[in-house]
């Protein structure tokens, strides 16, 4: 079952790159393009907190 784009909570702690609405939301929220987001997730996993830390260090 597809992720519900209207749900919040735990979904905001993980980045699901297989969900287009989440990719769009995270790129806007983090101020990065899709390529940068995917590279960050590949480097540190899909934890939003770890991705934020990774991007801050860049």
The pLDDT of residue 12 is 83
Q: How is the chain split into domains, by residue range?
A: 15-57
Question: Which has the higher per-residue pLDDT, 3 or 56?
Answer: 56
CA–CA separation, 40 and 6 (whole Å): 25
The pLDDT of residue 7 is 55
The model's confidence at residue 25, banded by pLDDT at 50, 70 and 90, is very high
26-50 per-position pLDDT tens digit: 999 999 999 999 999 999 999 999 9
Under 8 Å between Cβ of 34 and 28: no
Place of tokens 């990719």: 23
Question: Which has the higher per-residue pLDDT, 3 or 15?
Answer: 15
């Amino acid at each position: 079952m597809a992720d519900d784009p209207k749900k919040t909570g735990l979904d905001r702690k993980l980045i699901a790159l297989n969900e287009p609405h989440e990719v769009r939301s995270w790129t806007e929220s983090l101020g990065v393009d899709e390529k940068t987001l995917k590279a960050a997730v590949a480097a540190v996993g899909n934890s939003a907190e770890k991705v934020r830390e990774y991007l801050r260090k860049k």
